[in-house]
Amino acid sequence: MPLTLAMSEFVTATPKDLGTSDWIPLTPERARLLEALSRLPAAGPAPIAEAHEEVDPLAVLAMLPAMLASIFQFGDASAHRLVALEQCNFLSSVAPNTEIAMTARILEGQYNAEGHLVYRLGFFANAKGESRPFLIGELAAMAGNPPG
């Protein structure tokens, strides 16, 4: 069950550990779909991940919003979007049929002139059964309510 947080908690409680996402299976079907989505609007079919191949890192990055949604949600914001990956380092590869999870931490948050929350998260992702993360990074995002 994701945490429900107020936007103000991202400003007043930094840094703060948010927790870890649910384990999400990276099935070959999901990897193919995520690889195809990560390559839009590229022409032609997306490469198919065979059981012995590594999963395209872009497919893993495409799973970040789903993993974040299983960690937290805003109770007082109806709009939320990823603005930018600020850092992203893959430390090892991930095989298809691996379950992965992400752990996130609020690094900083502030309101912009329009009253939207702009915040940064640090994160790392693990493959089930592995002691070291395969991905570490930081992202910037924005949350708020649309005008009107």
Whether 36 and 76 have beta carbons less than 8 Å apart is answered as no
pLDDT at residue 35, rounded to an integer: 57
pLDDT at residue 18, rounded to an integer: 94
pLDDT at residue 123, rounded to an integer: 93
Determine the average pLDDT of the residues in 86-102. Answer: 86
Q: What is the pLDDT of residues 99-130, one digit of tens each?
A: 999 999 999 999 999 889 999 999 999 999 99
Q: What is the pLDDT of residues 21-45, one digit of tens each?
A: 999 888 777 666 655 555 544 433 4
CA distance 103 to 92: 17
User: Residue 39: helix, strand or coil by DSSP?
Assistant: coil
pTM: 0.77
Pair type for strands 72-74 and 3-5: parallel
Q: What is the pLDDT of residues 37-75, one digit of tens each?
A: 555 444 334 443 343 356 667 777 778 888 888 999 888
pLDDT at residue 37, rounded to an integer: 52
Give the type of residue at 24. Answer: I
- Which one has a higher pLDDT value, 64 or 17? 17
**DSSP notation for 15-30:** SEEEEEPPPEEE-HHH
Q: Both tokens of residue 137?
A: 């990074």
Q: Quick count: other Cβ atoms within 10 Å of Cβ 83?
A: 12
* 92 pLDDT above the threshold of 90: no
| Bond from prior residue into 15 cis (ω within 30 degrees of 0) | yes
Determine the average pLDDT of the residues in 2-6. Answer: 89
Q: Kindly list the structural domains of the chain, giving each domain's residue range(s) and its CATH number in brackets, ordered by start.
A: 3-144 (3.10.129.10)
- Which one has a higher pLDDT value, 23 or 93? 23
* 142 pLDDT above the threshold of 80: yes
